[in-house]
Amino acid sequence: MVGPGWIGIDLGTQSVRAVLADVDGAVLAHASRPLTSHRGGARHEQDPQSWLDAVDVLLTEVTSGPIEGLSICSTSGTFLLTDLAGRPVTPALMYDDARAAARRDRIVDADPDRWATAMQPTWALPKILDLVADGYDLANHRVVHSADFVAAHLVGHPVATDTSHALKTGYDLIANTWPTAAFDKLGLPSTAFPDVVLPGTELGRTPAGVPVYAGMTDGCAAQIAAGALTPGAWNSVLGTTLVLKGVSKDLLVDPTGAVYSHRHPDGGWLPGGASSTGAGVLTELLPGADLDALDQAARALGPIDAAIYPITKTGERFPFVAPQAERFTLGATPDDLHTYAGVLQGVAFIERLAFEHLVSLGADPVRSVSLTGGATRSGYWNQLRSDVLGVPVELPAVPDPAFGMAVLAAAAGAGLTETARRMVRVDHVLEPRQQSLDELYGEFVAELDRRGYRG
Q: Is 340's pLDDT higher than 80?
A: yes
**Per-residue pLDDT tens over the stretch 390-420:** 999 999 999 999 999 999 999 987 899 999 9
Q: What's the gap between Cα 123 and its chain centre?
A: 13
pLDDT of residue 242: 92
**Whether pLDDT at 2 is above 60:** no
Tell me what pLDDT residue 434 has: 80
DSSP class per residue in 364-385 = PPP-EEEEESGGGG-HHHHHHH
Q: Check residue 94 and give its pLDDT.
A: 96
Amino acid 3: pLDDT: 67
Strand-pair partners of 261: 271
* CA distance linking residue 323 with residue 306, whole number of Å: 24
Domains of the chain from N-terminus onward: 5-213 (3.30.420.40), 228-450 (3.30.420.40)
Amino acid at the residue 66: P
Q: Please enumerate in sequence order all residues whose Cβ is within 8 A of that of 203, keeping only pairs 6 or more positions apart, or say none.
A: 151, 155, 159, 160, 197, 212, 213, 214
The answer to whether 73 touches 215, Cβ cutoff 8 Å, is yes
Instruction: Please state the rounded mean pLDDT for residues 373-387.
Output: 94
CB 222 within 8 A of CB 167: no
Q: How far apart are CA 73 and CA 90, in angstroms?
A: 20
Regarding beta strands 15-22 and 5-11, do their DSSP bridges make them parallel or antiparallel, or are they unpaired?
A: antiparallel
What digits encode the pLDDT tens for the residues 271-318? Answer: 999 899 999 999 999 999 999 999 999 999 999 999 999 998 889 989
CB 91 within 8 A of CB 80: yes
Using a 10 angstrom Cβ sphere, with 0-12 exposed, 13-18 middle and 19 or more buried, the burial of residue 86 is middle
User: What DSSP string runs through 151-181?
Assistant: HHHHHTS---EEHHHHGGGT-BTTTTB--HH
Listing DSSP states for 326-379 in one string gives ---EES---SHHHHHHHHHHHHHHHHHHHHHHHHHTTPPPP-EEEEESGGGG-H
Q: Minimal CA–CA distance to 229: which of 416, 362, 70?
A: 416
The predicted pLDDT at position 120 comes to: 84
CB 396 within 8 A of CB 372: yes
Task: Provide the percentage of residues in the chain whose pLDDT is more than 90.
Answer: 90
Backbone CA torsion sign across 312, 164, 60, 44: negative
pLDDT at 406: 98
User: Using only C-alpha atoms, what is the Rg of the chain?
Assistant: 22
Q: How far is residue 395's CA from residue 381's CA, in Å, rounded to a whole number?
A: 12
pLDDT tens sequence across 124-174: 999 999 999 999 999 999 999 999 999 999 999 999 999 999 999 999 999
CA distance 77 to 161: 12
For residues 23 and 3, what is the distance between their CA atoms, to the nearest angstrom? Answer: 8
- Read off the pLDDT of each residue in 170-195 and give the average, rounded to a whole number: 96
pLDDT at residue 1 is higher than 60: no
86-133 pLDDT, tens digit per residue, is 999 999 999 989 999 999 999 999 999 899 888 888 999 999 999 999
